[in-house]
A and B are shown apart, each in its own frame.
Chain A
Amino acid sequence: MFSWALALRYLQRRWVNVLGTIGVIVAVWSLIVVRGVFSGFIEDIRTDVRRSSPDLLVTTLPHATSFALLQSALKNDPDVVALAPRLRHYGTFFQRTGNAAMQSIELEFSNVDSSFVQLVGVDPAREREVTAFDDWIERARTRSLRDGMDHSAPQLGPELQVPAADELRARKRLGLAVPEAATAFRSLWPGILLGRERTRFNRTITVGTPLDLLSVDYVTAKDGTSRAVTLQRAFAFAGTFQTGARLFDDSVALVPIEPLRSMLGHDALDDGSVDLCTDVAVRATDGLTIEQLRIVAQRLTTLARTALNEARPGASPETLTWEEQNAVFLDAVDTERAMTTLVLFAVMLIATFLIFATLHMMVTQKTKDIGILCALGGSPRGIGQIFTRCGFVIGALGVVMGAGLGLLTLHSLNGINDWLFEQTGFELFPRTLFDLPKVPYRIEPGWIVAVAVGSFLLTLFVAWLPARKAARMQPVKSLSYE
């Protein structure tokens, strides 16, 4: 009984112990809030990444691989639902400003310093069967309308062509050749879709605006020598897309695959041309887990290798699941979360060190009291319990209040963010930066329990150390302590 009575009395009379309690509150609160927000963001990021990626991607294909060849091999797998070719290349875009080829300016992107893009040639019809291609365009439309800067894609043709009226209007504006009978005009330029963020603040670009793509390719002559050739092709800005995966949206431009194949020397009408692809996007049977997808990926790799090796011995294609396609990014995000958690654990360690320091100091200050308690019949165990109970109270209060405040903060996060912005103009989580309608968060009961129990046990442990010292004190020495 005396250990409880004295523990509570010592805590009441020593305000320095409040610092320890506040330390635990702050540490538990931050571990719950930061982790909750981080997990919310990560969940959103994973959803966006999933949306931007096909279930599986057969990649690392040898030069000039034919899609038809792979298609006939891969479609035999029972878990393959649909296949779509992808052709990756690189280039820069220039926005046409007049009727001469020289009159163009480097396309000014809002969020990147360069107009350099990764071109991904897609077959829109097939792509729709494999990925949420239409959803990418629809998402961009919704967000564009919200921003009041409409770069929405109109009804596009099979090669992503913009409606004839849009191209005609652009041609007239730039003084380019147009037929006399405008009603007979049909779009000539293939369309190009850019990530919404790249054009978000570009007021000079509208649907139909011609964009000149400049690229380079190596060609091999008949005598075996290679040389770089400059490639150029006109596209029409066909609108924007948004998968939500910033890395993909900011770096990729979607173009129809056929014009890209033509540009790279494989026009469908030419003899000996190949239906070129660098990757094959695969839609697998719905509902497969990531482990099951990995098994399908292994089968597809075998099928692709067999098919390719018949024509080109030594080919070593690989098949990546949607997670593996974004492994670097997802691992980086996970690492960042782990690092942040580690930093916050350091906060907890500082708080517990503070508790240890105050309780240790208390034991030293209370040496004489310990001697008195021994003389009154207090057992060493009971004397030690005074200090473990101090730690118990500090830990329990800190954990309960920290966890409560943490949960309350997460529930009110968007309200707090709005209020802070209204009052001070400062946003804790700038939504424009993350392009999110609200700050995401995720309450993880397992994590909260782990933090609460872990913090509490840590507090008890650091209280146990000075308690042990107190319990081991010699009563005679304690009584004569000055």
Chain B
Amino acid sequence: MNAPALSAHDVKKSYWLGKREIPILKGVNLAVERGEMVALLGASGAGKSTLLHLLGLLDTPTSGEIRFDGQPVHNFKVGARAKLRHQFVGFVFQFYHLIPELTAIQNVLLAAMMQKSVCQYWKERRTTRAAAEQILDEVGLSQRLSHRPAELSGGERQRVAIARALLQNPRVVLADEPTGNLDSETADDVMQMLFRINRERQLAFLLVTHNEDLARKCHRVVRLRDGMVVG
């Protein structure tokens, strides 16, 4: 039997405020299978974003394990975690987080540059650019390649962010309220697109959201309350 693409095992995370320990996650167990779209629901402060950061190796748990394809990865060194994050995970944030100095296609190509030397990138530049153009076309932005983020609408910016997350063919996409900053019509468009990508690419998605309707459309809903999975 195949191991889940991404899993958390009894993951705890605390922060310290002076000498006072503030527990955020109190032993979370979670698994996301390949091609599965999981919604992570919870109130503000429930620990959704913290869990997402831990699963994406942006932070380390206080205790417990994070596994990619069944392999524990939470104890990897900083450089190895960065490499793994680059190969395995795609991030989509609520506020897009695009680099304002770069155009849409440059923002997408940035994902391909991260772990490559100048020479490596130079050799692959044509194929990489073609792939970036294709993905931007896939998200409906083939006419906006040379636009900077400031020249794009909110929906368009989020599409660029999604294209950036997909360029490296990740195993899992971690999306932190991807429609939280969009109007409902644009949000529907973006979600339709994410469902389509999930379907077509058989990518695992972990979707943090407040939206119950949206969550119900996912394959599975996981609820987080006071740092614990409740259902």
Q: Which residues of A are at the interface with B, using a C-beta cutoff of 8 A? A: 1-2, 4-6, 9-10, 12-13, 368-369, 371-382, 474-476, 479
Contact = CB atoms under 8 A, between A and B. Distances in A.
Contact of A371 (B97, B113, B116, B120): B97
Most buried by B among A2, A376, A378: A376
Given A379-B79, A475-B59, A476-B58, A9 B111 contact: no
B58 A376 contact: no
A381 to B, nearest CB: 7
A467 to B, nearest CB: 16
B120 A1 contact: yes
B110 A2 contact: yes
Contacts of B58: 374-375, 475-476, 479
A1 B79 contact: no
B114 A378 contact: yes
Contact of A381 (B79, B164, B168): B79
B3 interface: no
Contact of A377 (B53, B87, B102): B87
Nearest to A14: B101
Nearest to B118: A1
Contacts of B99: 6, 369, 372
Given A13-B101, A375-B85, A378-B114, A1 B164 contact: no
A10 B111 contact: no
Contact of A372 (B53, B97, B120): B97
B115 A377 contact: yes
A379 B78 contact: yes
A1 B113 contact: yes
Interface residues of B, number: 31
A379 B168 CA distance: 16
A377 B82 contact: yes
19 contacts: A1-B116, A1-B120, A9-B101, A9-B102, A12-B101, A13-B101, A375-B91, A375-B93, A376-B91, A376-B111, A376-B164, A377-B83, A377-B111, A379-B78, A379-B82, A380-B78, A381-B79, A475-B58, A479-B97
A1 B83 contact: no
Nearest 7 A/B pairs, CB to CB: A377-B86, A2-B113, A1-B121, A1-B113, A377-B114, A379-B82, A375-B91
Contacts of B93: 375, 479
A376 B118 contact: no
Contacts of B110: 2, 5-6, 373, 376
Interface of B: 53, 56, 58-59, 78-79, 82-83, 85-87, 91, 93, 97-99, 101-102, 106, 110-111, 113-118, 120-121, 164, 168
A474 B57 CA distance: 12
Nearest to B91: A375
Nearest to A9: B101
B22 to A, nearest CB: 15
Nearest to A372: B97
A374 B82 CA distance: 7
A188 to B, nearest CB: 90
Given A6-B110, A377-B111, A475-B58, 8 more contacts: A9-B106, A369-B99, A374-B85, A376-B86, A378-B114, A379-B82, A380-B78, A479-B58
A374 B91 CA distance: 10
B53 A476 contact: yes
A12 B99 CA distance: 14
A379 B115 CA distance: 8
A4 B85 CA distance: 21
